[in-house]
Amino acid sequence: MLKLLLGGATVATLSILTAPAGQAQTPSPSASSSSTSASSADQSAEWIVPWERTRPRDPYADASGRVWFVGQAGNYIAYLDPSKGTFKRYEIPEGTHPHNLVVAKDGMVWYTGNRNGRLVKLDPKTGALTDYMMPDPQVGDPHTMIFDDAGNAWFTAQQSNAVGFMNGKTGQIRLWRTGERSRPYGIEVAPDGKVWFDLFGTNKLGMIDPDVMEVQTFDLPHERTRPRRIAITPDGVVWYGDYSRGYLGRLDPNSGEVTEYALPGGQASLPYAMATDGRGRVWLAETGMRPNRLVAFDPATRTFTDTVEVEGGEAPNSIRHMTWDAKSGVIWFGTDRNTIGKLVIARPKATS
């Protein structure tokens, strides 16, 4: 069944504060929203990365509050200390071009070697690197990676049309082919442990049940749908952004029912990065808009509730990936304008 719904929206455009490299950044009172929506305003800020034109992306906060990210074009790993506004860079082998990064529970930093066919563990204390090579040399482009609760890594390889699993205890890697031009992209782990991913070259989502270890696919009703990133809410519902048509999609994994909601930016919105926040909302980056903007969808009311513009004006930009840090209550994102940004999620107003 396909339902096409147009969600209403209360739009609150928030100002963004940008700090020069090396300076601390804190949202000022001028970043407060004048929205009359039921929630307090979310606030956003950005830091300029000191290494120009390096495409900083996929930030991930560690337990101490440092925000790690990759320089995909600059071929480095680095972190931002938001409390000081300072950066530290780690050099990695030439030709790696890391695409994605995750901080494991033990504090080790893992990244994907998007052009040299490996997963890599970086020890933040020593800078030591440990390589985990793809067992198939034809799979040379590990893309997006996520860890499950058992410490195993799951990842996509877009151009190789494959998804993979790395056993966290043995380091052994297993690959599944997903079909020619399927282009597996975003990947997330559901509360029940099942691993979901987009097949960006198709109108399908994929899933691997770790108890079965086989790929299962789910057809999305519209043939032009192209899901790029994915998010999963605490109830296990799977959400995707339709990059081709400008919709937020909802897949009920139990019934297979799909519901779609037209994004505020319409077909030109080009939804890319996605994340869920601590209030159960689903956030998407509308990268077709100038400037790019983050929009929030409330599953409880089935409406788009907030819009936050990032800086950059009419300059080309893309927000490619976002992560939610529950400890700080922040969504972190990187931009093609060479910044690392945060969206501070406000707590709901108390009701009397």
Beta bridge partners of 205: 198, 218
pTM: 0.88
Instruction: Please tell me what DSSP assigns to residue 350.
Output: P
Q: What is the DSSP string of 101-144?
A: EEE-TTS-EEEEETTTTEEEEE-TTT--EEEEE-SSTT------
| Pair of tokens at residue 145 | 């990676």
Q: What is the pLDDT of residue 147?
A: 98
Instruction: Work out the pLDDT band at 315, boundaries 50, 70, 90.
Output: confident
Q: What is the domain partition of the chain in residue ranges?
A: 2-28+38-344
Output the furthest CA–CA distance in the chain (Å, rounded): 61
pLDDT tens, 107-135? Answer: 999 999 999 999 999 999 999 999 999 99
Q: How far apart are the first and last CA of the chain?
A: 40
Q: What is the pLDDT of residue 16?
A: 26
pLDDT value at residue 342:
97
Q: What residues form DSSP beta bridges with 230? A: 240
Average pLDDT over residues 11-40: 32
Q: How far apart are CA 344 and CA 24, in angstroms?
A: 16
So what CATH class is 2-28+38-344? mainly beta
User: What percentage of the chain has pLDDT greater than the value 90?
Assistant: 84
288-314 pLDDT, tens per residue?
999 999 999 999 999 999 999 998 889
- Tokens coding 67: 């925000």
pLDDT over threshold 90, residue 7: no
Instruction: Give the distance, in angstroms, between the CA of residue 21 and the centroid of all CA atoms in the same chain.
Output: 24
User: Tell me, what's the pLDDT at 41?
Assistant: 65
pLDDT band at 351 (very low <50, low <70, confident <90, very high): low
> Strand runs (DSSP E) across 7-108, as ranges?
16-19, 43-48, 56-61, 67-71, 76-81, 86-91, 98-103
**Measured between alpha carbons, how far is residue 143 from residues 77, 113, 212 in Å?**
15, 8, 23
Residue 350 has a pLDDT of 60
Distance CA 100, CA 90 (A): 15
SS3 282: strand
pLDDT in tens, 198-233: 999 999 999 999 999 999 999 999 999 999 999 999
The token pair at 11 is: 């739009």
How large a percentage of the chain has pLDDT more than 70? 87
How large is the average pLDDT for residues 45-61?
97
Radius of gyration of the chain (CA): 19
Res. 348 pLDDT band, cuts 50 70 90: confident
